[in-house]
Each structure stands twice: as C-alpha cells, then as structure tokens.
Amino acid sequence: MAWEEELFALLDDLEQQAEALYDAERGAELADRSRSEYQQVTLASRLMATVGDEVVLDVRGVGAVNGTLERVGTGWCLVSGTGQDWIVPLAALVGVRGASERSSPEVAWSPVARLGLGSALRRLAEAGERCVLHLVDGKALDATVRRVGADFVEARVGEEGRAVLVPYDGLAAVQSR
C-alpha cells in the first residue's frame, strides 16, 4: 500500500472517530435539553391532550373516579362516568392513569378551556340541580350549589337547606346526581 493510501486511510479513520464523538456529545446534549424542556409541561397540558379518552383519576378524599375525560379547564377537569359527571379540581388529584403521552401547551387552548373552576361551578348553580360535594377530608355533602365566590362555593345542604361555604382548597370533587 502506498504512503498516500495509508495517509488517506488514517485521515478517514480520524474523521469517523470525530464524527462518532460529535454524535455522542450531540445525543447527550439532546437528552439533557429534552429533560430540561419537559419541566415546562404541566399536568393540565397532559390532560388536555387526553380529552376524549378513558381515564382513572385518583382523587384525594374520594378514591378512584373512572370515565371519559370530557373537558379540561384552568385548575379543573370534567369526567363523564356511568350515569354521572365529575368536576375535579386538579389540586385534589393524587394520580392519573390513562393519560396521553403527549401534551397540549396552554397557548394552543381555546378561550373556553382557560375558564377556571368557578365557571364550572357557576353552571351548576345556574342549573339548580342537586349534587354531591366531596371534600378532601373524605366527607360528602348532598347539596345544591347556590352561589360561587372568588375562592369558595356556597351550597344549600340538608332538609333545612342550611348554607355551607366550601373553599376551593377543601373541595375534592363535585358529583352529579
């Protein structure tokens, strides 16, 4: 083999080694970037990508809620189960099974999806239908939602219709009757 061929073989070998090192560094950089970008993904964005799918929500004070994820809003979601609907504040979730691997960033959400928990509860108040307010401590109140404040819901409970104020932080889920 002529010295020129050996030199070109050596240069080819060095080029391949440099390319392999670049690929290894690039792979590590991409993996690191992917991990750092994932910290921007919210639970709500993962749930938004799951709308229309069957899920199991583990809810503080309630347990498992099964059904089709119908809607996600700012701080809450709506699940339709067998014969009943559930409004669940995201703060009351302990876990979610069946969520999509994808996410839908909040900038892509419709304006309706940006409505908060108060909007969903106001619709219940307007309907005037009885429901069950599940609290994070495990208690359940058979009630009618009357009015909705900035950070609480006012409901009428029991035969005498006494008023009870439930802060959003104490609300685990609202179940339709």
DSSP-derived 3-state class of residue 137: coil
Domain co-membership, 48 together with 5:
no
User: Could you count the other beta carbons within 10 Å of the beta carbon of residue 127?
Assistant: 12
> What confidence score (pLDDT) does residue 13 get?
75
Judged against a pLDDT cut of 60, whether residue 142 lies above it is answered with yes
Instruction: Give burial (CB, 10 Å; 0-12/13-18/19+) of 114.
Output: exposed
Percentage of the chain modeled with pLDDT above 90 = 66
Report yes or no: 135 and 54 within 8 Å, Cβ to Cβ: no
Domain co-membership, 90 together with 121:
yes
Domain co-membership, 47 together with 35:
no
Report yes or no: 143 and 157 within 8 Å, Cβ to Cβ: yes
Instruction: Give burial (CB, 10 Å; 0-12/13-18/19+) of 73.
Output: buried
Q: What are phi and psi of 11, to 5 degrees?
A: -65, -40
| Lowest mean pLDDT, pick from 4-13, 73-82, 143-152 | 4-13
Domain co-membership, 56 together with 126:
yes
Domain co-membership, 118 together with 130:
yes
Domain co-membership, 110 together with 127:
yes
Report yes or no: 155 and 166 within 8 Å, Cβ to Cβ: yes
Domain count, the chain: 2
> What confidence score (pLDDT) does residue 34 get?
56
Tell me the pLDDT band of 177, cut-offs 50, 70 and 90: confident
Of 49, 59, 157, residue with least CA distance to 104: 49
What's this model's pTM, rounded to 2 decimal places? 0.79
Q: What are phi and psi of 96, to 5 degrees?
A: -135, 130
Domain span holding position 32: 1-39
Report yes or no: 84 and 69 within 8 Å, Cβ to Cβ: no
Domain co-membership, 22 together with 89:
no
Domain co-membership, 66 together with 2:
no
Report yes or no: 135 and 61 within 8 Å, Cβ to Cβ: yes
Domain co-membership, 132 together with 162:
yes
Domain co-membership, 85 together with 140:
yes
22-49 pLDDT per residue, tens:
777 776 666 556 567 778 889 999 999 9
Tokens 């005498």 belong to 160
Domain co-membership, 82 together with 151:
yes
Q: For position 163, which CATH number holds? A: 2.30.30.600
DSSP-derived 3-state class of residue 28: helix
Domain co-membership, 31 together with 47:
no
